[in-house]
């Protein structure tokens, strides 16, 4: 089987509007995928932070004089 230029190049020309639509669709799908990944990461980090706060013992209160109310 020999390769022809028709296999590599689209013989039909796309209009500028069609090119813009394809670019817009691709960009929006990339942005949406990044947003989903960012939300997953945020939720994961939030969960880890909450677990760490629960596991951390409460800090003892410092003993000292009570403030006077003169």
The answer as to whether 26 is a domain residue is: yes
HEC string for 4-28: CHHHHCCCCCCCHHHHHHHHHHHHH
Q: What is the pLDDT of residue 1?
A: 54
Q: What is the pLDDT of residue 43?
A: 98
Q: What is the pLDDT of residue 14?
A: 82
- In the chain, how many domains are there? 1
Q: pTM for the full model?
A: 0.56
* 3-state SS assignment for residue 59: coil
The answer as to whether 29 is a domain residue is: yes
Q: Rounding to the nearest 10 degrees, give the CA dihedral for residues 29, 33, 39, 41.
A: -160
Question: Could you read off the pLDDT of 7-64 as tens digits, one per residue?
Answer: 777 667 889 999 999 999 999 999 999 999 999 999 999 999 999 999 887 666 777 6
Range of the domain at 36: 15-55
The answer as to whether 67 is a domain residue is: no
The answer as to whether 61 is a domain residue is: no
Q: What is the pLDDT of residue 18?
A: 92
The answer as to whether 66 is a domain residue is: no
The answer as to whether 7 is a domain residue is: no
């Amino acid at each position: 089987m020999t390769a022809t230029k028709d296999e590599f190049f689209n013989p039909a020309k796309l209009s500028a509007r069609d090119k813009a639509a394809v670019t817009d669709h691709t960009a929006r799908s990339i942005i949406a995928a990044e947003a989903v990944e960012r939300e997953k990461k945020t939720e994961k980090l939030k969960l880890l932070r909450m677990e760490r706060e629960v596991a951390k013992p409460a800090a003892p209160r410092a003993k000292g004089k009570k403030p006077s109310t003169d």
